[in-house]
Amino acid sequence: MNFRKRSNDEPEINLIPFIDVLLVVLIFLMLSTTYSKFTEMQLTLPVADTDAQKEYPKELIVAVGADGNYSVNRTALTGRSLDVVAAALTDASRGGKDVVVIISADASAKHQSVVTVMEAARRAGLSQITFATQSSSLSGTQ
């Protein structure tokens, strides 16, 4: 018969090898990861200066309303399609290639309406496009 006392020692978990393995994995991940800076788009936004407005010899003012209606040189257009705007710009420019298109859009007009005017100007062969602005002091008083 074996009368020795049984030891009631609880088994211990040795964490030192586990920590060593984690440190090796961490060092491996730090060395193998490439830290590359993503290419950011550099934008230079235009500044509107209403004091120094230019007078263009031949200009077409295209107004874009908040409801999506167009007018060319204060003449309202009957349709909103690209073909209608392009035909109106062609008629108003009378074939002159040095005509400047000034887009005067309402602040709440849809972006697509302005893009439609730009595409219509391209179809009409007009490459000089600018935007009408107002100073921030005027818009704050309304």
Are 80 and 110 within 8 A, CB to CB? no
Domains of the chain: 53-136 (3.30.420.270)
Per-residue pLDDT reduced to its tens digit, 33-87: 876 655 554 545 455 555 555 565 688 889 888 888 898 888 888 888 999 999 9
Rounded-to-integer distance, Cα 98 and Cα 120, Å = 16
CB atoms within 10 A of CB 103: 19
Closest CA to 135 of 25, 18, 53, 34: 53
pLDDT at 80: 85
Instruction: Specify the residue for token string 């392009």.
Output: 86
Model confidence, pTM: 0.57
pLDDT at 25: 95
pLDDT at 68: 85
Q: Which secondary structure element, helix H or strand E, spans residue 117, and what is its range?
A: helix 111-123
